[in-house]
Structure 1
Amino acid sequence: MRKYEKSSKGEMASAMKKIIEYMKGSVGIVAVALVLAALGAVLTIIGPDKVGEITDLIADGLMTGIDLKAVARVGIFLGAIYISSSLFTFIQQYIMATVTLKMSYRMRSDLSRKINCVPQKYFNSHSQGDILSRITNDVSTLQQGLTNSLPTIISAAAQFVGCLIMMFVTEWRLALISLFITFFGLFLIVFIMSKSQKFFLDRQESLGKLNGYVEEMYSGHEVVRISRGADNVKKHFGGLNEAVYNANWKSQFLSGIMQPLMNVIGNLAYVAVCVFGSMLALNGTITFGVIISFILYVRLFTSPLGQIAQGMTNMQTASASAQRIFDFIESEELPDESDKSSEMPEVKGNVSFENVRFSYPDTPDKVIIKNFSAEVKAGQKVAIVGPTGAGKTTMVNLLMRFFEITVEVSP
């Protein structure tokens, strides 16, 4: 896990690039969904301006009579905007859900194929539970992150930029006040996110280790009981569980304070708009409708920052899962030795080991088998016995070509 901490931003960018390459056949339709998400957000920006227009129509007509037809026209236009925005959002969510579910289906198929292609040494360095966690938990996390977080970030960014423009068009002085307060909160969010990425990566790996250990202990439950190793198992499980707990609370704590922080920033912006807006209204510089519009704009302006922060948090988790998935997909495969095969018309079925010397790839200095020779004739039944560590399993692995011979000594 520590290898991710050196360059978490680079790893995240690399993971996202690999996801784009993996989804290259669906990039067009995903782009359409993201455009619809942006359009849906932009349409909602028009709403506060129209609400302010209705407010001015009502305020101007209190003494002379309210123009109900004008209010109705603006109201119908406002309703059409909101309906169109909801329709665009629905279509975008449907497209993203369809595309990402197909992606997760294909990814699990690729992972299932990969399991049959990786050498035995990969399973020696990674537990079965960790590999299962990549296929189930990490793929689901990645799929949910792309389905929910990516469109949210795009629409929130479009809403943020659109609100910023409309705020300056409506009243530039109130816009500057709101902007100063909001960007102070944005600076805090960026700082928090820069510190939280490593904890999301830690969470995914520690969860994989815990799943792997639980799977192994349940599979060997009888062996644990017979060997009276329950206390050691509990102690080791407690350490793994504590690692998951620490990574979870740190990542969730840092991500959880983003939304309350933006709520505080938004409330400060509300107060500033009400105070300075009232002063401008008393001077006759702006109308009451402008204050109403600006209050709505402040809400639309600060909420995207919270959505972006939450979306980036989820994308951090998704990128951590993507790194683990692609680490497995891109791992070394068994060599293709189809060109080395040859027809053997007179196979007798004899098995022969001649002066074999072998050590595992991850521990080359620890020799398991030293100058071993054995011959088994066809039809013979042979039992392989010996103490733990004698090399019984290694002999079978070599016979099944799970490992290649590292050193062959001529007789």
Structure 2
Amino acid sequence: MSDKKERRGHSGGGPFGGPHGPGMPPEKAKDFKGTFKRLSGYLRPHQGKLLTVLIAAILSTIFGIVSPKILGDATTLLYRGYISGDGIDFVAIQKIMLWLGGLYLLSSLFAYIQQYVMASVAQRTVYDLRKEVNDKLGRLPLKYFDARTHGETLSRVTNDMDNISNTLQQSLTQMITSAVTLVGVVIMMLTISPLLTLVVILTLPLSIIVTTVVAKRSQQHFVAQQKHLGELNGHVEEMYTGHKIVKAFGRERQSAEKFEEVNNRLFDAGWRAQFISGTIMPLMGFVGNIGYVIVSVVGGVLVTRRAIEIGDVQAFIQYSRQFTQPITQLANIANVIQSTIASAERVFEVLDETEETPDASAASKPDRPRGDVAFEHVSFGYHEDQLLIEDMNIKVKQGQTVAIVGPTGAGKTTLINLLMRFYELNAGRITIDGIDITSMKRGELRSLFGMVLQDTWLFNGTIRDNIGYGREGATEEEIVQAAVAAHADHFIRTLPEGYDTVLNEEATNISQGQKQLLTIARAILANPAILILDEATSSVDTRTEMYIQHAMNELMKNRTSFVIAHRLSTIKEADLILVMNQGSIIEQGTHEELLAAGGFYADLYNSQFSSRKEAV
């Protein structure tokens, strides 16, 4: 299964300067109405707060809209006082200015309340949704993750979730404000002059045509920009993670040339997208200026005829400036909502996935786990019509070491997945100490196992924390004892910070063999009843292999052990060897018995032995 992250590029912005614009091609939702209704359901518990947001947005917008009209009255007073020669009534103007100051203050106050309450609603909604998704991921079966790349799942729970959060936080309040502004501006313009309002509205179709034409032309370039950005991200990621390989094979020049080629394509697409989308504001400004000129001329004529006050013309010009802004914002928001609904749909798809079978209500667990394991008539297939394992029967007694061998794809790892109940059986049952594993809680079942795999897993943290991960609440003394038993204590103490040495994200500041010893120490600390070992020594040198083998022998004492073996020379002492091919156990017995039988195992062993002799 590929675990590369899904490469999703991000453009620098939409054609209106924001993260999303009409030029940004959003993903289309398959069921817009259904998904929108479902997402709205998450807002239902916050209806009271949303009503507060709506009222605050309306009041903030109204106070902001009324201000130009009152400012126009001040202009009219100044004009009348100057023309009449009676002097300017500064007391009246002072009152108007105080009124204006109060209105602006109230508008800002309600805008603050609106943003504050909406922030609480948006973050709480996304918190609940994110928690629900996280809980869901914990209940999904392993086959869900096996069928998808890690990047695809991460993208749904991070990128798509952030998209929803940003829309709830910003676009929802902006949509309310824009709609109220548009209605309020039209009403205010009609109260001043229906004729001038008609002039402004006549420029609306021209604005829509300009927006549509530019958005359509820029869209193809935004698509190309996203595509090339994804290619560039992918190339950089591959070159960074495979840096040593690039160096080893001397491919630096080809890598640089590939980067240059993709970067040039990205530059070309990005330049065209940003340039074409960037023309929308000058064009909208041009359309607005046409309306501005017409309003100024017609308004001037109306003033000379005393049909309108000069202050009203000034206010109307301000309103005409505000008229196109909410239209542009609403067009932008419509596109953002389309993208957000698509993101919500992807999140809901995760929530609707089939969960793993619930744990038994009356769960059982061995009081003192011994490690007796039995496979009884087990059948399994990743697809119901294609069985990989049919009627498998195995009995393993406490303390026995069972080696599982076979070619790649034989079903060795599948056997372990079934044992730990990562997958459910098609038929038969698996028991531990006579108890069917389906009657145990998954957490308690998996606590019986300790794993040391070929691919070591260590997290970013101290060596102490990494070993202590094996058992919650382990003391310092127990951690050190586990490290001593795993032959890891000596190398740990040679490090500058000892047990406080912090491992980096990939744990590349220690060797492969040292990493393996730490995972063995962690397994020793966990003190499991059953061990699963996946050829832990296959990627280390001979001397380190000897240390690891000693540590593993210590770990395997008095424990049932399942060893997935690739090098057959390491499992000669196993109590039972299971030879698998194409999902079936075709041979089983001890090393000597299988060699004497001269079958598949003997052929595998002799081929490895002869190839080593030739190598020597």
Q: Residue type of the partner of 1:386?
A: G
Q: CA deviation at 1:275?
A: 3.0
Find the counterpart in structure 2 of residue 90 from structure 1.
112
Cα contact 1:270–1:295 (8 A) shared by 2 = yes
Find the counterpart in structure 1 of residue 34 from structure 2.
14
Cα contact 1:129–1:214 (8 A) shared by 2 = no
Worse-matched range after superposition: 247-256 or 366-375: 247-256
Please show how residues 10-409 of structure 1 align to structure 2 within 5 Å.
Answer: 11-63=31-83, 64-186=86-208, 262-339=284-361, 341=363, 349-354=371-376, 356-361=378-383, 367-369=387-389, 372-406=392-426
Distance in 1 between the 2:428 and 2:249 partners? Answer: 38
Cα contact 1:217–1:224 (8 A) shared by 2 = yes
Change (3 A) 1:237 1:370: farther
Worse-matched range after superposition: 116-125 or 191-200: 191-200
Q: CA deviation at 1:51?
A: 1.7
Q: CA deviation at 1:50?
A: 1.0
Q: Residue type of the partner of 1:159?
A: T
Cα contact 1:127–1:209 (8 A) shared by 2 = no
**Structure 1 counterpart SS, 2:380:** strand
**How many matched pairs?**
403
Q: CA deviation at 1:269?
A: 2.2
Q: CA deviation at 1:187?
A: 6.4
Q: CA deviation at 1:144?
A: 1.8
Worse-matched range after superposition: 326-335 or 254-263: 254-263
Change (3 A) 1:279 1:183: same
Greater share of strand: 2
* TM score, norm. by length of structure 2: 0.54
Q: CA deviation at 1:312?
A: 3.0
| Structure 2 unpaired stretches of 5+ | 1-24, 430-616
Q: Residue type of the partner of 1:28?
A: G
Change (3 A) 1:165 1:214: same
**Structure 2 counterpart SS, 1:383:** strand
Change (3 A) 1:160 1:8: same
**Structure 2 counterpart SS, 1:387:** coil
Find the counterpart in structure 1 of residue 605 from structure 2.
none
Distance in 1 between the 2:293 and 2:327 partners? Answer: 18
Greater share of helix: 1
Cα contact 2:203–2:287 (8 A) shared by 1 = yes
Root-mean-square deviation (Å): 4.8
Q: Residue type of the partner of 2:168?
A: L
- Higher RCO, 1 vs 2 (CA within 8 Å, ≥6 residues apart): 1
Distance in 1 between the 2:276 and 2:29 partners? Answer: 17
**Structure 1 counterpart SS, 2:139:** coil
Worse-matched range after superposition: 173-182 or 262-271: 262-271
Q: CA deviation at 1:305?
A: 1.4
Distance in 2 between the 1:32 and 1:304 partners? Answer: 22
Distance in 2 between the 1:213 and 1:123 partners? Answer: 25
Q: CA deviation at 1:175?
A: 0.5
Question: Whose radius of gyration is greater, 1 or 2?
Answer: 2
Distance in 2 between the 1:159 and 1:128 partners? Answer: 44
Cα contact 1:134–1:325 (8 A) shared by 2 = yes
Cα contact 2:29–2:345 (8 A) shared by 1 = no
Cα contact 1:129–1:216 (8 A) shared by 2 = no
Distance in 1 between the 2:419 and 2:270 partners? Answer: 44
| Structure 1 unpaired stretches of 5+ | none
Q: Percent identity?
A: 36
Change (3 A) 1:135 1:11: same
